[in-house]
Structure 1
Amino acid sequence: MAPTSPPKIHVDATDVNMQFAQGTDALAKENGWPVTAATMSAQELTFPDANFTHSFTAFAFHCIGDHGTAAKQIYRTVKPGGTAVASVWVYMPHVAAMQHAHWRTRGRDGPMPTLLPLEDYQEKDLRAALIAGGFEDGKIKTYERDFYVAIPDLVRWSQLAWSYLGSLPSGWSQNDEDKWEEAVSDIEDQMKAGNGISKNDKGETVLRMVACIAVATK
């Protein structure tokens, strides 16, 4: 019997951030990957109904806002019998350090950065969102996995983390620029100890991250 050719696949990648989508599209073209990337909101997917055999939503539900609508879009675009995989971080020790720097340099009266939610997002919340989207509870399986991130240069990491996670919905302000070094220094101090933070034998800062992965069948 002649060997069968592997099935042809195509991946549609989306992100609300235009730069991420453009970067993915450029990498796909450079490497000849069967991937098309587009800027698109998770709550407003433009794909046809029952379009995908698999849908992957990577570490987004805990920071995208309207979880139920996003889940409905996943359910709508997956074929009957298809699979949806959604992952979220249920524990991230660096978030408390970022929030501390935010309150120290901006006070407690203003809005929190979008990527630093005050409320934890747990397995029950992810499951509830998928059920609200249309998936049956009995067809959702969840798993937890620990991940460890080693940070060789804590000063550099603090700068990068604040530049990415610290932005407010309204963008950066003059106050943020004036207090930039204070915020970064505060993050560095907060990251030297705390739950989920340790040192390895190389002297690197190690973060214990916990992910929840849900696998739902339509």
Structure 2
Amino acid sequence: MSGSTSFWPKQIIPPTPENYKELAKDGAERLAAVSLAQIPAIPAGAIIHDNGCGHGSATAVIVESAAPEVAATYRITGTDISGGAVEIYRSKAEALGWPAEGLVMDSDSLSFPDETFTHSIANAVLFIGPRNNGVDAVKEMYRTLKPGGTLIVNCFAYVAVLDAIREASRATRTGGELPVWNSFEHWADPAFIASIVEAGGFEKGSISVQQREMFVNIGDFERHTELVWSMRGMPAGGWTQEDEDKWDEALAIVRREMQKTKGFMTLEDGTTIIRNVVNVATATK
């Protein structure tokens, strides 16, 4: 969870890695799938960098999207600044038979030689982790791509829960203090991520940005909104007694506002679909 606090509302769901994963559902995999759909199928013999690999969402999609005999010829390296994430990545690679290794590495300072990879993907990375809006990370991706190599990066242009937690914050907090997790505005314009890729070294004419919808099944809606407010609702100054006192009111607002969003749908099995919008930038070195 972003920010820090000495007070925790009694209703809060603890910000553990397991609970963050429950919040995300398969969103990272769906984001990777939408992004990889914007390039031609990855050919046999590809040497692939999964940059900011996390638990391996992009690697999973890459491997599962190819015929087994093609996927077996890939050489995939997943890197992440989090040692814990890399340990999970390695465990999954071994258990699932991925042709992959995991290394702890900062995306802004890769230790690979120049011109190592045929493909480099940063899935849900540029807008949350690297410095300088991801320009330094893209420079490293450019450096380590072979001539003719393919870059894939992405960002969210619209997130269904964002306006809902803003509205709950305004309505339930004295002064209307907004949550720490509050803005994707400058990433919403496709031209912005294109400018990051260009600043990273890619020729403007080689860059393409596609805006695509992404639908995620978030499971039980009430449980999901509890996770959303617990993990995304904390204000910059930390949780307060007022947040505890108005917890149920805030949740009711989050639920009401999310139900208004385009694409919101409750299925026959009781689970819920929400819609996000992503910008996918691809480029050739």
2:185 equivalent among 113, 119, 122: 119
- Offset at residue 129 of structure 1 (A): 0.2
Conserved in 1, the CA contact under 8 Å of 2:178 and 2:236? no
Conserved in 2, the CA contact under 8 Å of 1:93 and 1:197? no
Matches within 5 A, 1:60-79: 60-64=125-129, 65-66=131-132, 67-79=134-146
Matches within 5 A, 1:28-177: 28-64=93-129, 65-66=131-132, 67-102=134-169, 104-105=172-173, 112-113=180-181, 116-117=182-183, 119-121=185-187, 122-166=189-233
Percent sequence identity over matched residues?
Answer: 27
Deviates more, 1:133-142 or 1:103-112: 103-112
- Offset at residue 128 of structure 1 (A): 0.1
Conserved in 2, the CA contact under 8 Å of 1:92 and 1:210? yes
Q: Deviations over 1:155-203 (max 9, x none)?
A: 1111233444446789x65769846944544422332224x25334536
Conserved in 2, the CA contact under 8 Å of 1:191 and 1:197? no
- Offset at residue 27 of structure 1 (A): 0.6
Distance in 1 separating the partners of 2:179 and 2:101: 35
- Offset at residue 22 of structure 1 (A): 2.4
Q: Deviations over 1:40-97 (max 9, x none)?
A: 3322222222211110011222333422112111111111111111122212221112
Where in structure 1 are there 5+ consecutive unaligned residues?
Answer: none
Distance in 2 separating the partners of 1:75 and 1:93: 32
* Alpha-carbon RMSD: 3.2
Paired amino acid for 1:119 = E
- TM-score, normalising length from structure 1? 0.78
Conserved in 2, the CA contact under 8 Å of 1:105 and 1:179? no
- Offset at residue 127 of structure 1 (A): 0.4
Higher fraction of strand: 1
Conserved in 2, the CA contact under 8 Å of 1:152 and 1:205? yes
Distance in 1 separating the partners of 2:246 and 2:108: 33
Paired amino acid for 2:185 = E
Conserved in 2, the CA contact under 8 Å of 1:197 and 1:205? no
Paired amino acid for 1:68 = V
Where in structure 2 are there 5+ consecutive unaligned residues?
Answer: 1-68
- TM-score, normalising length from structure 2? 0.62
Deviates more, 1:127-136 or 1:103-112: 103-112
Matched residue, 2:89: 24
Change (3 A) 1:99 1:16: farther
Conserved in 1, the CA contact under 8 Å of 2:208 and 2:283? yes
Change (3 A) 1:118 1:32: closer
Conserved in 1, the CA contact under 8 Å of 2:157 and 2:278? yes
